Amino acid sequence: MIPMDQQTVYIGQSEKPEVLSLKLANRHGLIAGATGTGKTVTLQILAEGFSQAGVPVFMADVKGDLSGICRPGDMQSFLVERARTIGLEGYGPAAFPVVFWDLFGKQGHPVRTTVSEMGPLLLARLLDLNETQEGVLAIAFQVADDEGMLLLDLKDLRSLLTFLAENARELTSTYGNVSRASVGAIQRRLLTLEQQGGKAFFGEPALVLSDFLVCDRQGRGTVNILAADKLMMSPKLYATFLLWLLSELFEELPEVGDPEKPKLVFFFDEAHLLFKDAPKALIEKVEQVVRLIRSKGVGVYFVTQNPGDVPDSVLGQLGNRVQHALRAFTPRDRKAVRAAAETFRQNKAFDAKTVITELGVGEALVSTLQKKGVPSVVQRTLIRPPSSRLGPAKPGERKAAIAESPLAGRYDKAVDRHSAYEILTQRAEQAAEAEERRQEEEARTKEAKRRQRSSGTTTRRKAPARSRRQSAGEAFFKSALRAVGSQLGRQLVRGLLGSLKR
């Protein structure tokens, strides 16, 4: 097991040991570098260090390489040599407690949330809606919230949108304009999302975040690994899921100030996908969440190829930094190298801008927060070798870890509760039956009149005031709107990024 004290995570060796203070680990961080420079190993050794210190971790396994954390490492000669070079005593193989997750339920426990819990803001981002379509989606959620109507899965949302389109005229006076064209566009985007795997993501049982925040019997934090190799084929779904998860942590966890160690460390790999083409309003909310979630005891670490992938407003909040090599083949590359170097507290012993392009695999420039939150002088550092396996776990090993997980069976079987789809379907059926009865009544009335005329009977009867009667659909809609007034007292409350507050 890697030797370490209870206040730091050992990163590697420069002219001194480079460590990350657990007390300041919730001040967030950045891991950057070109492909193949060692970012994945840095992720792995940080996850090991946090786990050993009793801090749970969440990380996405984009390439499938991180699953090996659940198995002890093979003491390959280059790893042993690295440990000897940096003076890492007691280096040996070790496995860490891992829980595997998968949005598609193939390589881990299924991860689900409900449409209601995600909210209109993040769903609009996921569907890439324009401003008008986003407004219509917001109306749909408002109607559902006012009615206390649960939107659990995509068929619930589709049913509600159909209801809105059919009653657009009546809705406009209460909620604002509902464009049938916008509803149609949203329905098409939902179909695309369903084809990309969104159908598996929305539903129940929904993820309980406390299942992330656990330690094993030895007091080691659980390493929660999301299988993301297939998920990366739908990058918008990947980015929105992680952003939703971050917002859920922000809304659900209590304020703890600055704890002695984080309650959770959250690694956001391929961070550029979060900010690519994101509207300014969303970036502002992400900045706000990153700034405030520190007080909930959550550390957020963005992992990306280039620091420039992260907006300055967010980058300025990332105090702990590990910068692997960047290449400077083009003017744009050289500009990125210069910008990365300037974010560090400079070391008089070397030029950071030059060193960034010279770093070998497994080397990095490291600067972490010290006492009072002051960043350390940047150091050229040899990253320590991992104790767990480099590379993926074998399919059988992963399967065994899933079967032995304390969460085995909890999320495996999907549940379809009575929700918006069932409510609207039932009301539509009742409306159809009422309409059928009305038509039958009219037919009987006409038949009675015909018989009276045939027999010469002239008894006057008042004609039905059909013009003053509501159709079954109108009656259904108006009764729904009347219910809004009685539902407002238990209206659902949404947080900063639109997710439900419990």
Cα–Cα distance measured from residue 68 to residue 122, given in angstroms and rounded to the nearest whole number? 32
In a domain, residue 406? The reply is no
Q: Are 159 and 66 in contact (CB under 8 A)?
A: no
In a domain, residue 463? The reply is no
Question: Using 50, 70 and 90 to split pLDDT, how confident is the model at 147?
Answer: confident
434 and 307, same structural domain? no
pLDDT at res. 460: 53
Residue 463 reports pLDDT greater than 60: no
In a domain, residue 459? The reply is no
For residue range 215-273, what is the model confidence (pLDDT) as tens digits? Answer: 999 999 999 999 998 888 888 888 888 889 988 999 999 999 889 999 999 999 989 88
In a domain, residue 399? The reply is no
Residue 15 reports pLDDT greater than 70: yes
Token pair 């009867």 in the structure block, residue: 461
CB atoms within 10 A of CB 419: 23
Question: Using 50, 70 and 90 to split pLDDT, how confident is the model at 472?
Answer: very low
Task: Name the residue type at position 109.
Answer: H
In a domain, residue 464? The reply is no
81 and 192, same structural domain? no
In a domain, residue 447? The reply is no
Residue 465 reports pLDDT greater than 60: no
User: How many domains does the chain contain in total?
Assistant: 2
pLDDT at res. 501: 64
235 and 159, same structural domain? no
304 and 232, same structural domain? yes
CATH at 22: 3.40.50.300
Q: How far is CA 214 from the centre of its chain?
A: 19
| End-of-domain residue from the set 333, 359, 394 | 394
In a domain, residue 436? The reply is yes
243 and 189, same structural domain? no
Contacts of 120 (CB under 8 A, 6+ apart): 134, 137, 138, 140, 141, 498
pLDDT at res. 348: 94
223 and 196, same structural domain? no
157 and 145, same structural domain? yes
Task: Name the residue type at position 145.
Answer: D
In a domain, residue 457? The reply is no
Q: Which of 284, 278, 253 is nearest to 266 (CA)?
A: 253
- Mean residue pLDDT of the chain comes to 87
Residue 477 reports pLDDT greater than 90: no
273 and 325, same structural domain? yes
pLDDT at res. 235: 86
Cα–Cα distance measured from residue 437 to residue 181, given in angstroms and rounded to the nearest whole number? 33
For residue range 353-398, what is the model confidence (pLDDT) as tens digits? Answer: 999 999 999 999 999 999 888 999 999 999 999 999 999 999 999 9
189 and 246, same structural domain? no
Cα–Cα distance measured from residue 7 to residue 139, given in angstroms and rounded to the nearest whole number? 49
228 and 369, same structural domain? yes
388 and 347, same structural domain? yes
478 and 369, same structural domain? no
User: 487: domain range?
Assistant: 117-203+418-440+469-502
Higher-pLDDT residue of 204, 456: 204
Higher-pLDDT residue of 334, 463: 334
pLDDT at res. 502: 59
Question: Using 50, 70 and 90 to split pLDDT, how confident is the model at 428?
Answer: confident
